[in-house]
Amino acid sequence: MKTSLIRLAVGAALAAALVGGAQAQAPAAAATLKVKASTNAADTGRCTTATLLFAKVSQKEGEPADPQMVELAGYWIDYLKTKDEAFQSAALEGMKTTTEGYTAALDKDPATSIAKLGDDALGCLLFLE
Half-sphere exposure of 123 (CA within 13 A, CB side): 12
Task: List Cα–Cα distances, 45 to 29, 39, 84, 100, 121, in angstroms.
Answer: 27, 10, 14, 13, 12
- At 43 the pLDDT is 94
Chunked in runs of 10, what are the mean pLDDT values of the chain (129 residues)?
50 49 45 87 93 82 81 90 93 90 86 85 90
- At 9 the pLDDT is 54
| pTM, rounded to two decimals | 0.72
- At 38 the pLDDT is 95
- At 114 the pLDDT is 83
